[in-house]
Amino acid sequence: MSAKIIDGRAIAQQIRQEVAEEVARIKARGQVPGLAVILVGDDPASAVYVRQKNKACQNAGIHSITDHLPADISEAALLQRIEALNADPRYHGILVQLPLPGHIDTQKVIERVTPEKDVDCFHPYNVGRLVIGMPRFKPATPAGIVELLHRSGISPAGKHVVIIGRSNIVGKPLANLLVQKQPGANALVTVVHSAARDLAPYTRSADILVAAIGRPEFVRGDLIKPGAVVVDVGVNRVPAETPKGYRLVGDVAFEEACKVAGAITPVPGGVGPMTIAMLLKNTLTAFYLQQGA
Ligand code: GUN
């Protein structure tokens, strides 16, 4: 069997086009949605993600800035900067790129972003709304996965979705989105993680298998049920003789998986572009929230 490749780039491009059209309508009324991104320090991967986010905003007509702060900025100064952005009406969304340097309390930072501008959907208020099925924002990567399935004609309803990984950014919110009794969801969800002595009995019963553990090529062909849909959230840099000195691989051993799965998302070009597209959508959601809509 040779799996169908799910083209995240093409689907993300459709969404970006939809957002751009909506932004144009907003601008015709004399308003401009805005996003402020805070990047602390010089983590190379974070710098790449932030550049991609800003470029996507520009292409969609969203006004965006990057606040690049030094790695040794104090926690108090960072919190102050967030408060200034909370009060600044030009920016409807605020995103603090993670991870933060070790001397900063990440949870404190997350909780300082006002929930109305929390386009990451990391604030406990927004996480709570998500859990009870009344989300205002949906976190970008999990929402991107749900949208990718929907626009590929794959319904999770009544299916067994197994998520490998329990992070606050992907595993936990994705489980909460997919378990809701709502269109595009209504799945039977299992979250597996490092406490499992043997993952195979779980993963091999998955109709839809989501790998979000951050370990290069962890999911081999023998963990996949024949014909399953495989969603690879991993973005791992592994040393390689390329101009950059590395190549990107997912959490799934792609070639092997292609022989077993029915459909699969590639890395790069699968979930990654969807994350950025959903961030743009969340910026529009934040804009409308602040109009009182
Ligand atoms: N670091 C890795 N993924 C994310 C994300 O979705 N949002 C933020 N702010 N930081 C991240």
- Tell me: do 109 and 154 sit in the same domain: no
In a domain, 65, yes or no: yes
- Tell me: do 157 and 264 sit in the same domain: yes
- Phi and psi of 232, rounded to 5°? -105, 110
For the chain, the first-to-last Cα distance in angstroms comes to: 48
Confidence class of residue 220 from pLDDT cuts 50, 70 and 90? Answer: very high
In a domain, 3, yes or no: no
Residues 6+ apart with CB under 8 A from 280: 15, 16, 19, 56, 57, 60, 62
In a domain, 5, yes or no: no
Specify the ligand 1 atom closest to the Cα of 141. Answer: 6
- Tell me: do 160 and 108 sit in the same domain: no
Q: Whose CA is nearest to atom 4 of ligand 1?
A: 98
In a domain, 279, yes or no: no
CATH number of the domain that residue 247 is part of = 3.40.50.720
In a domain, 22, yes or no: no
- Tell me: do 100 and 158 sit in the same domain: no
Specify the ligand 1 atom closest to the Cα of 279. Answer: 6
Across the chain, what does the average pLDDT equal? Answer: 97
DSSP state of 241: S
E strands of the chain, at which residues? Answer: 4-5, 34-40, 63-69, 93-96, 160-164, 188-192, 208-211, 229-232, 236-239, 246-249, 263-264
Both tokens of 26, joined, read 């907003």
Is 43 one of the catalytic residues?
no
- Tell me: do 146 and 252 sit in the same domain: yes
- Tell me: do 263 and 168 sit in the same domain: yes
Catalytic residue among 117, 118, 120, 180: 120
CA-based nearest residue to 164, from 134, 193, 125, 185: 193
Is 80 one of the catalytic residues?
no
pLDDT digits (tens, 9 = 90+) for 77-122: 999 999 999 999 999 999 999 999 999 999 999 999 999 999 999 9
- Tell me: do 240 and 154 sit in the same domain: yes
**Number of domains present in the structure of the chain:** 2
- Of the residues 53, 69, 97, which should be mutated to test ligand 1's pocket, given the most ligand atoms within 8 Å of the CB? 97
Tell me how far apart the alpha carbons of residues 143 and 158 are, in angstroms, rounded to a whole number: 19
In a domain, 10, yes or no: no
pLDDT digits (tens, 9 = 90+) for 148-187: 999 999 999 999 999 999 999 999 999 999 999 999 999 9
Asked if residue 173 lies in contact with residue 194, where contact means CB atoms within 8 angstroms, the answer is no
- Tell me: do 203 and 102 sit in the same domain: no
In a domain, 228, yes or no: yes
Query: What count of other Cβ atoms lies within 10 Å of the Cβ of residue 89?
Result: 7
Give the range of the structural domain holding residue 235, as residue numbers without chain letter. 140-271
- Tell me: do 161 and 215 sit in the same domain: yes
Higher pLDDT, 245 or 293: 245
- Tell me: do 206 and 247 sit in the same domain: yes
In a domain, 134, yes or no: no
CATH number of the domain that residue 66 is part of = 3.40.50.10860
- Tell me: do 75 and 153 sit in the same domain: no
